[in-house]
Chain A
C-alpha cells in the first residue's frame, strides 16, 4: 500500500506506517507483510495526480492519503475503479467514489448530540455565540452545516469571524467578539496553531467566554502554544475520536497501541489528528484485507471493504459506517483542566456498549445541501 501526504500532513504517513509496523509484528495479514510507500504531492494538483498514478501502478492500494488536492488524484481514482483508496478524504466528490473509503466518513452536516449537550450546559450563553471560520470555500460550507445544527439546538450567533490562513494575529477579531457580547465561542474547526493564537489573544484582552474546541484543535502543543494552562483551562472539547494523545491510553487499549507504535515508526514524533487518521485508515484497510481472505486481490479487497458497515478502531473512534459512508453521530466530551485534556464524567464508561462515546442525537444535514 502507499500513502500520500504533504509535508504538513506527514502525520498521516507516520500513522499508517505505525499501523503497518504493528500489524506486521503481530503476525501480518494472513501471512503477508504490509509495506508502506509514501509520496509527496508538494501541494500541486499535478503532483497529486502523478503520485496517485504512481501508486496505482506499483502498489496494492492507497491508504492514509491526506491532501488538499484530493480531486486531482480523484480523477485517477475515478478512472481506475479497481484500485482502492482507504483514506480520510476531504473532497466530497472523491469521497463518493465507490473505490474510496474513509474510516470516518465526512459529509456536509453535523452531529446534533454535542450541540444539544452544550446548549443544556451553557444555556445562559447560548444567545450570544461566536465562531471562527477559515476563509476557504470548504470551511465555509462545513460551517453552514454546523451552524444549522447549532441554531437548531438553540444557539444564536452574534459574531462570525473569518480568518485568513496567513493571519498571524487575532486580537482585533477577539475584541470585535468582545464588543459584540459573545459569551461562547465555537472554535472546533480551527487547527491548533490558530486556536492557540486566539486563546492567547483572549487572555491578552482579558476576555473569558466559554471556549469550544474540536478534533482539529486537540493537540499536545495547544496548552504550551497558548501561553499556559491558565489560558486554556475550562475549554470544552467534543470529537468522535478517543483522547488519543494520551489521556485515554489506560482506558482504551487501542490508544496505547497507537501511541507505542507511532514512536516505533518515527521516534520522537508528536502525534496529531492526521496521525490518527493515518492509523485508522490503515486499520480499516487491514480489516478489509483480512475479510478478503487468504489470497486478496484488488477486487476482493474492494468487495470486503464494501461490507464493513461498522468500524470503530477497537474503541479508537466512535462507530462509523464506511460502507455506506455515513458519518458517526457519537461523540465524547472532554474538558481542559490544569492544562490537561480530561474525559468528562458525562461520558459513559469506556467499558460500556458505546465504548465511552455518547450516542444521543443524530447526524443532521441542512436541507438543500
Chain B
C-alpha cells in the first residue's frame, strides 16, 4: 500500500508539471484563437535564460524571475503578436499553425547555438528544502509547482469570467469588430492575450527547470508540453480547472503504468511504452471531444489560386524535367559535395520531393496539416528494408500500403474534429514514433538498417546513376499523379472541403471520408518516398526521420508553395542544399521564411513582387477591390474581413 501512495504522490507531482504547461496552452488559445506550438520552446528559452542569469551571471533569484517572467515574457509576447500574428488576420486556418511551428524551430535553433549541449546546466530550486510524505522525501519545489498551478488555474478562471478585461480577452477571439465597437481596442487585447500566454509558458519553463536534475535540455523542455496537450484537449482548450484535473490524472496514469506495468516488460519495450504514452493519452483525449459543429463562416478566400497545369502541359513539363535532371545528374555524377556525391544528394532531393508532393495533396489542396510525413518515410524505409531482405519491388508496394493504412488509423479519431487536432495528433505521433519506434534498437539496430537497391530481372539498378534515374522517374510520376488528382473529381473535392466544409456537407458529400482518404494517400506517398530514400542511402538510422527535421521540411514546402508541384520540388532542393551547408541553422531559415511569408497561401511562388510588404508595414492604400483577384500580400485588412477564427 505504501508503494501505491508513493507512486500516487509522484504521479501528482508529474501531473502538476503537465498542468502548468497545459494551462499555458489553454490561455494562449483562449485569448488568441491560436494553438501555440511554440509554447514549450518559449518555456525552454525562459528556463535557459533564467539559468544564464542565475548560474552564469549570479543575478539574484528574484531579479532573474522578474526579468524572465515579467519583462522578457511581455516583450516577447507583444513582439510575437505584433510582428508575427497580427498579419495573419484573415488568413486560412493552417497559417497560425505554420507560424508557431516556425517560431518553435527558430527558438530551438537559436538555443542550440547559444547554449551548446555539451554542458550540463542544472537550475537550483526556487525554494530549497524538503518535506516528508508517505515515507518519501519530496522537494519543496514540487509544492511550489502545485501551488502555482492551482493559483494560476483559479486566478485565470476568475480573470476570464469575472472581469471586463477577461471578457474582452475572450471576445477578441470571437469577433474583434464587435469588440472594437464596444470601445475596447482589439489589438491591445490581442497583445495582452499573447503576453499572458507567454508569461504562462515562461512560468512553466522556469518552475519545471529545477526538477530536471540531469540538466535542462533544449529538446526535452520544448517537447515537455506534448504531455500537456492531452490535458488541454480534455479541457476542450477552454476549461482551465478541467485541464488541471486532466493533467493530474494523466500524471498519475503515467506513473502507475511506469511502476506497475513497465517493470514486467523488457527494457527496450519499457522505453517504447514511455515514449508512446503522451501520444496514447492524446488520442484518448481526442475521443472525449465533441464533434465539431459545421459552421457557415462565409470566409472570403480572396486569394488567387495557383493555376493547375493541364494534362498535356504536365506531361510535357514532366518529360522535360526528367531529361534535364538526368542530364545534370549524369554530367556531374562524380562531383563530390562535402563527402557525398551529387547523385546521392540528387536522389535525396527526388525522394524528399515526393514527400513534398504528399504535402501538396494533403495540406496544399485540402488544407490539413500533417507533421508526421517523415515518420511515414521512416516506416516505409523500415518496411522496405525488412520485406524480402530489402531491394524488392514488393517492399515498395508494402511500404506504400502499410503507411496508407497507418495514416488512415491516425486520421480516423480526428475527422469529426477541426483540423487543428489532426496537426496535434500528427505531432504527437511523430514524436512517439521517433522516440519509441525508430529509437528502439530492434527497429533500426545500433548500426542502422541496410536497404538494398531494387533488383529487377534483367535490370541492374545497383549503380548510383541508375538509382538516381529511377527515383527521378518516381518523382515525375508522383507529380503527374498529384496534378491528375487535382484535375479530377477527387481533387475538386479536396479543394472544396477545405474552402467550405459547410457547403461540402450540404452538397451531399462526406467530409470525414474525404479527409481520411486524402490523409491515407498522402501517408502512402510518404511511405513510398521513404522506401526509395532508403534505396538511395542504402542505410537508414535512428535519427533520420526525427520530429524536428520533419517539421522543418513542412515549413520549407510552405515557404515555397504548398499548393504547387514546383513548390514541393524547390523545397526539397533547398532543404537538401541547406542541410549540407548548415544542419543546425536550417531550422532558423525555415522559421524566418515561414514568418515572412505570413498570410500568403501561395508562398514565395505566389508573391507579386510589387505588393510584397514587410511585416511591420501596413497595406498600402489604393489596392484593388477586396472582392477582385488579389495577389498574395496585397490584401487590404479592412474591418469587414476581420479575423475569422478557424472552426
Roughly how many angstroms separate A366 CA and B339 CA in the complex, as a whole number?
40
Roughly how many angstroms separate A39 CA and B340 CA in the complex, as a whole number?
13
Whether B274 pairs with A164 at a CB distance below 8 angstroms is: yes
Whether A225 pairs with B215 at a CB distance below 8 angstroms is: yes
> Which B residues between 214 and 269 are near A, CB-CB below 8 angstroms?
214-215, 217, 220, 255, 258-259, 267-268
Roughly how many angstroms separate A193 CA and B121 CA in the complex, as a whole number?
9
Roughly how many angstroms separate A69 CA and B542 CA in the complex, as a whole number?
9
Binds B, one of A46-54, A104-112, A244-252: A46-54
Roughly how many angstroms separate A110 CA and B130 CA in the complex, as a whole number?
40
A205's contact among B3, B137, B542, by CB below 8 Å, is which? B137
Whether A172 pairs with B7 at a CB distance below 8 angstroms is: yes
Q: Residue on B with the closest CB to A166?
A: B220
Is A240 an interface position by the 8 A CB rule? no
CB B314 to nearest CB in A, in angstroms, measures 32
Is A363 an interface position by the 8 A CB rule? no
Roughly how many angstroms separate A52 CA and B339 CA in the complex, as a whole number?
7
B537's contact among A11, A46, A93, by CB below 8 Å, is which? A46
Task: Convert B187-231 into 0s and 1s, putting 1 for each residue whose CB lies closer than 8 angstroms to a CB of A.
Answer: 000000000000000000000000111110100100000000000
CB B234 to nearest CB in A, in angstroms, measures 24
Please name all residues of chain A whose beta carbon is closer than 8 Å to the beta carbon of B214 when the two chains form the complex: 167-168, 193-194, 196-197
Whether B441 pairs with A51 at a CB distance below 8 angstroms is: no
Roughly how many angstroms separate A179 CA and B1 CA in the complex, as a whole number?
13
Q: Which of A8, A44, A169, A204 counts the most chain B CB atoms within 10 A?
A: A44
Binds B, one of A118-126, A135-143, A150-158: A135-143
Binds B, one of A24-32, A70-78, A276-284, A293-301: A70-78
Please name all residues of chain B whose beta carbon is closer than 8 Å to the beta carbon of A169 when the two chains form the complex: 211-213
Please name all residues of chain B whose beta carbon is closer than 8 Å to the beta carbon of A179 when the two chains form the complex: 3
Whether A70 pairs with B447 at a CB distance below 8 angstroms is: yes
Q: Residue on A with the closest CB to B265?
A: A162
Known contacts A8-B117, A135-B267, A137-B442; A42/B583 CB under 8 A: yes
Is A7 an interface position by the 8 A CB rule? yes
Please name all residues of chain B whose beta carbon is closer than 8 Å to the beta carbon of A91 when the two chains form the complex: 446-447
Q: Residue on A with the closest CB to B6?
A: A175
> Which A residues between 162 and 210 are near B, CB-CB below 8 angstroms?
162, 164, 166-172, 175-176, 179, 192-194, 196-197, 200-201, 204-206
> Which A residues between 81 and 123 are near B, CB-CB below 8 angstroms?
91, 93-94
Roughly how many angstroms separate A74 CA and B10 CA in the complex, as a whole number?
44
Roughly how many angstroms separate A170 CA and B130 CA in the complex, as a whole number?
16
Is B336 an interface position by the 8 A CB rule? yes
> Which A residues between 264 and 323 are near B, CB-CB below 8 angstroms?
270
Whether A45 pairs with B446 at a CB distance below 8 angstroms is: no
> Which B residues between 72 and 113 are near A, CB-CB below 8 angstroms?
none
Q: Residue on A with the closest CB to B3?
A: A179
Roughly how many angstroms separate A64 CA and B370 CA in the complex, as a whole number?
41
Is A351 an interface position by the 8 A CB rule? no
Whether A168 pairs with B212 at a CB distance below 8 angstroms is: yes
The count of residues in chain B whose C-beta lies closer than 8 Å to any C-beta of chain A is 50
Whether A168 pairs with B220 at a CB distance below 8 angstroms is: yes
Whether B136 pairs with A171 at a CB distance below 8 angstroms is: yes
Is B584 an interface position by the 8 A CB rule? yes
Whether B446 pairs with A221 at a CB distance below 8 angstroms is: no
Known contacts A53-B339, A164-B274, A172-B7; A45/B137 CB under 8 A: no
Roughly how many angstroms separate A225 CA and B214 CA in the complex, as a whole number?
9
Roughly how many angstroms separate A221 CA and B120 CA in the complex, as a whole number?
9
Please name all residues of chain B whose beta carbon is closer than 8 Å to the beta carbon of A201 when the two chains form the complex: 213
Known contacts A45-B539, A194-B214, A225-B215; A135/B271 CB under 8 A: yes
Whether A135 pairs with B268 at a CB distance below 8 angstroms is: yes
Roughly how many angstroms separate A43 CA and B340 CA in the complex, as a whole number?
16
Please name all residues of chain B whose beta carbon is closer than 8 Å to the beta carbon of A11 when the two chains form the complex: 118
Task: Convert B307-347 into 0s and 1s, putting 1 for each residue whose CB lies closer than 8 angstroms to a CB of A.
Answer: 00000000000000000000000000000101110000000
Whether B340 pairs with A50 at a CB distance below 8 angstroms is: yes
Whether B447 pairs with A72 at a CB distance below 8 angstroms is: yes
Is A369 an interface position by the 8 A CB rule? no
> Which A residues between 204 and 232 are near B, CB-CB below 8 angstroms?
204-206, 221, 225
Task: Convert B393-432 into 0s and 1s, putting 1 for each residue whose CB lies closer than 8 angstroms to a CB of A.
Answer: 0000000000000000000000000000000000000000
Please name all residues of chain A whose beta carbon is closer than 8 Å to the beta carbon of B116 when the two chains form the complex: 7, 10
> Which B residues between 132 and 150 are near A, CB-CB below 8 angstroms?
136-137, 139
B267's contact among A74, A140, A197, by CB below 8 Å, is which? A140
Q: Residue on B with the closest CB to A200?
A: B213
CB B160 to nearest CB in A, in angstroms, measures 32
Is B288 an interface position by the 8 A CB rule? no
Roughly how many angstroms separate A100 CA and B116 CA in the complex, as a whole number?
30
Please name all residues of chain B whose beta carbon is closer than 8 Å to the beta carbon of A137 when the two chains form the complex: 268, 441-442, 445-446
A45's contact among B435, B442, B541, by CB below 8 Å, is which? B541
Please name all residues of chain A whose beta carbon is closer than 8 Å to the beta carbon of B213 when the two chains form the complex: 168-170, 196-197, 200-201
Whether A44 pairs with B541 at a CB distance below 8 angstroms is: yes
Task: Convert A322-344 into 0s and 1s, putting 1 for each residue whose CB lies closer than 8 angstroms to a CB of B.
Answer: 00000000000000000000000
Is A359 an interface position by the 8 A CB rule? no
Please name all residues of chain B whose beta carbon is closer than 8 Å to the beta carbon of A54 when the two chains form the complex: 336, 338-340
Known contacts A136-B441, A164-B271, A169-B213; A75/B339 CB under 8 A: no
Roughly how many angstroms separate A8 CA and B338 CA in the complex, as a whole number?
22
Whether A69 pairs with B339 at a CB distance below 8 angstroms is: no
Q: Residue on A with the closest CB to B221?
A: A168
Please name all residues of chain B whose beta carbon is closer than 8 Å to the beta carbon of A164 when the two chains form the complex: 270-271, 274-275
Whether A172 pairs with B215 at a CB distance below 8 angstroms is: no
A93's contact among B117, B271, B447, B543, by CB below 8 Å, is which? B447
Known contacts A46-B544, A50-B338; A193/B117 CB under 8 A: no
Is A133 an interface position by the 8 A CB rule? yes
Q: Residue on B with the closest CB to A221?
A: B120
Roughly how many angstroms separate A49 CA and B259 CA in the complex, as a whole number?
40
Whether B543 pairs with A43 at a CB distance below 8 angstroms is: yes
Whether A8 pairs with B447 at a CB distance below 8 angstroms is: no
Whether A51 pairs with B117 at a CB distance below 8 angstroms is: no
Please name all residues of chain B whose beta carbon is closer than 8 Å to the beta carbon of A75 when the two chains form the complex: 539
Q: Residue on B with the closest CB to A175?
A: B136
CB B129 to nearest CB in A, in angstroms, measures 11
Please name all residues of chain B whose beta carbon is closer than 8 Å to the beta carbon of A204 when the two chains form the complex: 130, 137, 139
Q: Which of B258, B267, B445 counts the most chain A CB atoms within 10 A?
A: B267
CB B317 to nearest CB in A, in angstroms, measures 30
Whether A57 pairs with B7 at a CB distance below 8 angstroms is: no
> Which B residues between 272 and 301 are near A, CB-CB below 8 angstroms?
274-275
Roughly how many angstroms separate A8 CA and B119 CA in the complex, as a whole number?
9
Whether A10 pairs with B118 at a CB distance below 8 angstroms is: yes
Please name all residues of chain A whose beta carbon is closer than 8 Å to the beta carbon of B136 when the two chains form the complex: 171, 175, 205
Roughly how many angstroms separate A93 CA and B446 CA in the complex, as a whole number?
10
Known contacts A42-B584, A69-B541, A72-B541; A168/B339 CB under 8 A: no
Please name all residues of chain A whose beta carbon is closer than 8 Å to the beta carbon of B613 when the two chains form the complex: none
Roughly how many angstroms separate A72 CA and B137 CA in the complex, as a whole number?
46
Please name all residues of chain B whose beta carbon is closer than 8 Å to the beta carbon of A39 when the two chains form the complex: 339
Is B574 an interface position by the 8 A CB rule? no
B340's contact among A53, A93, A225, by CB below 8 Å, is which? A53
Q: A136-B446, A204-B139 are in contact. List 10 more A-B contacts (CB 8 A).
A: A10-B118, A45-B540, A45-B542, A47-B583, A49-B539, A137-B446, A166-B435, A168-B211, A196-B214, A225-B215
Complex A-B, nearest 3 residue pairs according to Cβ-Cβ distance, in ascending order: A54-B339, A71-B447, A45-B541
Q: List 11 A-B contacts (CB under 8 A).
A: A44-B541, A46-B537, A54-B336, A54-B340, A71-B446, A72-B539, A136-B446, A137-B441, A169-B212, A172-B7, A172-B258
The interface of chain B, by Cβ under 8 A from chain A, is 3, 6-7, 10, 116-120, 122, 130, 136-137, 139, 211-215, 217, 220, 255, 258-259, 267-268, 270-271, 274-275, 336, 338-340, 435, 441-442, 445-448, 537, 539-544, 583-584
The interface of chain A, by Cβ under 8 A from chain B, is 7-8, 10-11, 39-40, 42-47, 49-55, 57, 69-72, 74-75, 91, 93-94, 133, 135-138, 140, 162, 164, 166-172, 175-176, 179, 192-194, 196-197, 200-201, 204-206, 221, 225, 270
